Chain A
Amino acid sequence: MIWTNLVIQGILVGGFYALFACGLSLMFGVMRVINLAHGDMAVVAGYVAVMLTPHFHIPLLWSFLVVVPLFALVGYVLQRTLIQKSIDRDPFTTLLVTFGLSVVIENALLQLYTANAQTIAIGSILYKSWHPASIIYISYQSLVVLVVAVAVLASLQLFLSKTGTGRQIRAVADDQEAAQLSGTNYRHIFGVAAAISFATVALAGIAYGMTTQFAPTSGGINLLFAFEAVVIGGIGSLWGTLVGGIALGIAQQIGSHINPQYTLLGGNLLFLIVLAIRPQGLFGKKSSL
């Protein structure tokens, strides 16, 4: 029973990791950029939800309606300016620039909103949980996040395979020059991919803020989880990211079952083991490394 519970809790938290990670995976897949500010973007989304949405007189639960489109726009603009400029230099510069952004964002949040933890309080409905067996509690909130994550991944997959823009994104990801020759404006496509990535991370940030407390420095650890989910699942595979997120969640639950101090250690060890045995991840292709 204990193990069933560990697996269930791992799956629930894994859905959240996948939601966090899919934007990271998309940006790497399309423009080969690892956005080291990815986690901080989620935190910014949380702060925007807490600090700005009250001004629009909408309940916090619905704050994503404002924050997600806003972040898509921010993503597009940031990609077309700063990130594109660093891509034009070399991949090395994108790392330096996004890491620089990450530190600037963290410290700007500290300066603006202090180090106090914030939370997105949404009322009591979602804080209840379903209690199917003696020690198994399934919180409605985690369940909602898991459902949202699966829905986001499914619609992303559909969007990439069925729509014209999705095809262009895949074309640019496969061979940028060939796509360019066929008339694709790759800079615009990069912008669209970044917009999607930022929209998903904003959603993840709000989900995070509803689940737990966050502070200006919470971004780093979330980037770490997202990254671990991507590598465990396999670089460049969306469903792999979901499986990776779930595997990471279960590993952390097992770690925390042994000793609450080992929660993160469990995830890190799984990551290092996967790296040692199967560096392309569970569902990745060797060539994408």
Chain B
Amino acid sequence: MSISPREISTDLVSIRRTTHSPVISLVLGAVMIGVLTGAPWILPASFVSVLMNFFILVTMATMWNLMAGYAGMVSIGQQAFVGLGGYATLYFALKGMSPYVAIPFSALTCALIAIPVTYLLFRLRGGYFSIATWVVADTAGIIIGTIALFGGGTGRAVPGFSNFSPTQITNFAYLSCWLVAFVVIAGTYFLLRSRLGLVLSSVRDNEISARSSGVKVTSARRTVFIIAAAGCGAAGAVLAIAQPYVQVSNEFNIQWAAEMLFVSMIGGLGTIEGPIIGSIIFFALQQSLQSHGAWYLIIFGSLAVTVAIWQPRGLWGAFRDRFHIELLPVGYWTRAKK
């Protein structure tokens, strides 16, 4: 990768990075951000609590999608970092730090733990890599469950909220979930527009030709794995704040991995919009089938399998190919100048 995008001669080609005027995206984005930030004050409480879970899932799915959709790593062990993030928040809170302040530190803790983990996991490929991520998650859950400070298997309440009123606690929990989701999505967007994004897109499109052009695939993957660990750690941290209780069986639940995977697949792998749209569909299904037990997961899983086989670009991918619209464009369109 010796050529950076800026060095391409622009005398010969014109380069576009958006499908429509960026002003439209900016205005729409600003309105969305305004509404979502004010949600606890303008929307009904039941909706706000769904929205909170929605942001947690969007955060996780965005990270999962960065790994699977761009770097080709199917992890079914991301709950390891959700759990470690949650327990890191508990630890910092027990040591007297405000749980809100602990969010970035928990994410950082997960990133640090992820570094040695990559050296183990990257010895395996494909499906073996996938199940090995699960072994790591299982091991992490067992170890955390034996630590008396964290309440063992029964878990422990996250302290540090005594200075706030119940309304404040709810509102701050919502705002933390929303802020983390926003930072993760915005971060992913800028990451994919950066040089690393170009590297990842080339690996996604054709790993062999990317390697032969000198792309350092393994180190790009390692970076992505560490970022995804940090993102899932942040999701685990806000999950711990939202509960506010941590328990091994909840934080390290493989259900998180299943949801991340389904949401990204249905929405569209390898797009930023995909996991968001997938999460909207997920919560729409979950809310409308609430009284029917596990049926929403059966339907959602079958939908995911169907999409994977017959529409591998997902719903957003299909929509984008049909109408040529990108809400969060990260690619390049080049055209020769006359």
Q: Which residues of A contact B (CB under 8 A)?
A: 28, 32-34, 36, 82, 85-86, 89, 91-97, 99-101, 103-104, 107-108, 110-111, 220, 223-224, 227-228, 231, 235, 259, 261-262, 264-265, 268-269, 271-272, 275-276, 279, 289
Partner-binding segment picked from B18-26, B128-136, B274-282, B320-328: B128-136
With a CB–CB cut-off of 8 A, which chain B residues contact A34? Answer: 126-128, 130-131
Q: A89-B312, A96-B305, A224-B138 are in contact. List 10 more A-B contacts (CB 8 A).
A: A34-B131, A82-B309, A86-B308, A86-B309, A96-B308, A97-B308, A103-B301, A110-B294, A224-B131, A235-B128
Cα distance, A264 to B132, chains bound together (Å): 14
Using known A-B contacts A107-B301, A224-B131, A227-B131, determine if residue A279 contacts B124 with beta carbons closer than 8 Å. yes
Cα distance, A55 to B55, chains bound together (Å): 48
Using known A-B contacts A92-B74, A93-B312, A265-B139, determine if residue A36 contacts B130 with beta carbons closer than 8 Å. yes
With a CB–CB cut-off of 8 A, which chain A residues contact B301? Answer: 100-101, 103-104, 107
Q: How many residues of B contact A (CB 8 A)?
A: 40
With a CB–CB cut-off of 8 A, which chain B residues contact A97? Answer: 305, 308-309
Using known A-B contacts A97-B309, A111-B293, determine if residue A289 contacts B125 with beta carbons closer than 8 Å. yes
- B304 interface contact, C-beta 8 A: yes
Cα distance, A275 to B302, chains bound together (Å): 34
Q: Which of B127, B261, B302 has the most chain A CB atoms closer than 10 A to its own CB?
A: B127
Contact of A272 among B127, B134, B139, B258 (CB under 8 A): B139
With a CB–CB cut-off of 8 A, which chain B residues contact A108? Answer: 294, 298
With a CB–CB cut-off of 8 A, which chain B residues contact A231? Answer: 124, 128, 132
Q: B residues 123-156 with Cβ under 8 Å of A?
A: 123-128, 130-132, 134-136, 138-139, 142-143, 145-146
Residue of A nearest to B123 (CB): A279
Q: Is the interface of A mostly helix, strand, loop or mixed?
A: helix
- B191 interface contact, C-beta 8 A: no
- B190 interface contact, C-beta 8 A: no
Cβ of B304 to closest chain A Cβ, rounded Å? 5
Cβ of A4 to closest chain B Cβ, rounded Å? 27
With a CB–CB cut-off of 8 A, which chain B residues contact A110? Answer: 293-294
Q: Which of A95, A103, A223 has the most chain B CB atoms closer than 10 A to its own CB?
A: A103
Q: Contact mask B109-125 → A, CB, 8 Å, 1/0?
A: 00000000000100111
30 A/B residue pairs, CB under 8 Å, sorted by A: A34-B126, A34-B131, A36-B127, A82-B305, A85-B309, A89-B309, A91-B127, A92-B74, A93-B308, A96-B308, A97-B309, A99-B76, A99-B130, A99-B258, A100-B301, A103-B262, A108-B294, A111-B293, A111-B295, A111-B298, A220-B254, A223-B131, A231-B132, A261-B146, A262-B146, A264-B138, A265-B143, A271-B132, A279-B124, A289-B125
Cβ–Cβ contact A268 & B135, under 8 A: yes
- Nearest 9 pairs between A and B by C-beta? A34-B127, A104-B301, A100-B305, A107-B294, A279-B123, A268-B139, A107-B297, A227-B131, A103-B301
- B224 interface contact, C-beta 8 A: no
Cα distance, A33 to B331, chains bound together (Å): 32
Residue of A nearest to B297 (CB): A107
Using known A-B contacts A93-B309, A95-B74, A97-B305, determine if residue A265 contacts B128 with beta carbons closer than 8 Å. no
With a CB–CB cut-off of 8 A, which chain A residues contact B298? Answer: 104, 107-108, 111
Cα distance, A28 to B72, chains bound together (Å): 19
With a CB–CB cut-off of 8 A, which chain B residues contact A100? Answer: 261-262, 265, 301-302, 304-305, 308
Q: Which of A34, A89, A95 has the most chain B CB atoms closer than 10 A to its own CB?
A: A95
Cα distance, A36 to B294, chains bound together (Å): 20
With a CB–CB cut-off of 8 A, which chain A residues contact B139? Answer: 265, 268-269, 272
